Amino acid sequence: MHCFSIIEGTKEALERLQMDYVDVIFAHRPDPTIPMEEVVRAFNWVIEKGWAFYWGTSEWSAREIEEAFHVASKLNLIPPAAEQCEHHMFHRERPEKEYEPLYRKYDYGTTVFSGLAEGILTGKYNDGIPKDSRFGREPEHDEERASLASEEGQAKIKKVRELAVFAEKELNCKVSHLALAWLVIKPHTSTIILGASKPEQILDNLKALDVLPKLTPTVLEKIEEILATKPSSVVSCSAFA
């Protein structure tokens, strides 16, 4: 990801979108062979051209994000505004542990993808893999199918079953609504990307908003007891401070 790639990639993306600008443009996975200064300067240039209002990171480590902030501060350039990361009930180490110092220091926000763990948290794989599901109909998901069949995968399914019972009996909702609402209430969740393939799925996912008032401290504690996935401690990312 060098200066030319960022600038030309932005131009080509805007042409495909048939738009003059976007609100946020994300740098997906940094190239460790390119100096961070070059990356930050390129996105600063994109913003000054009016092609984007902000730039963000995607799947960057906390150390890389901290370095971008350090470079931006040193050169009086625009730092990243948000991180696009995987975050769900079974994937918590990076968004809840590694990034915690960034939240405190920069009030950094996250744009979450895979909030339903590729469909696992909808409960549709609780009794096997349906033929009409993504894992069932697309051959490139052999690895995911094998993962679900593993001991670790089956342990996740067991937890989803428990969460589904809890969601239905205690909260009067689907487990997918609970999983999304659980993400929404995280203090640094800025946006959740809903990977729906049908319009009705979007409407169903939005029912998670009705669950938010029900997520009391007691309810959240019960969820943590079922999951047992909460990160143990916070790491520091102040190498460039």
Q: What mean pLDDT comes out for the span 208-227?
A: 97
Distances in Å between the Cα of 170 and the Cα atoms of 40, 158, 163, 165, 178 are 48, 18, 10, 8, 11
Total Cβ atoms within 10 A of residue 14: 17
Residue 241 binned pLDDT confidence (cut-offs 50, 70, 90): very low
User: In the chain, which ranges are E strands?
Assistant: 22-28, 52-58, 82-86, 109-113, 189-192
**What pLDDT, in 10s, does the model give residues 46-91?**
999 999 999 999 999 999 999 999 999 999 999 999 999 999 999 9
pLDDT at residue 141, as a whole number: 59
83 half-sphere exposure, CB direction, 13 A CA radius = 29
pLDDT at residue 134, as a whole number: 63
Q: Which residue segments constitute the domains of the chain, with CATH numbers given?
A: 117-241 (3.20.20.100)
Q: Are strands 82-86 and 189-192 parallel, antiparallel or unpaired?
A: unpaired
**What pLDDT, in 10s, does the model give residues 171-197?**
999 999 999 999 999 999 999 999 877
Q: Between 230 and 198, whose confidence is greater?
A: 230
**pTM for this entry:** 0.88
How many angstroms separate the CA atoms of 106 and 101, rounded? 8
How many angstroms separate the CA atoms of 134 and 215, rounded? 30
**What pLDDT, in 10s, does the model give residues 110-146?**
999 999 998 999 998 888 776 666 665 566 556 776 7
Q: What mean pLDDT comes out for the span 10-19?
A: 97
**What pLDDT, in 10s, does the model give residues 80-106?**
999 999 999 999 999 999 999 999 999
Q: Are 93 and 62 in contact (CB under 8 A)?
A: no
Phi-psi sector, 209: left (phi>0), alpha (psi -120 to 50), beta: alpha
How remote is the C-alpha of 77 from its chain's centroid? 26
Q: Is 84 helix (H, G, I), strand (E, B) or coil?
A: strand
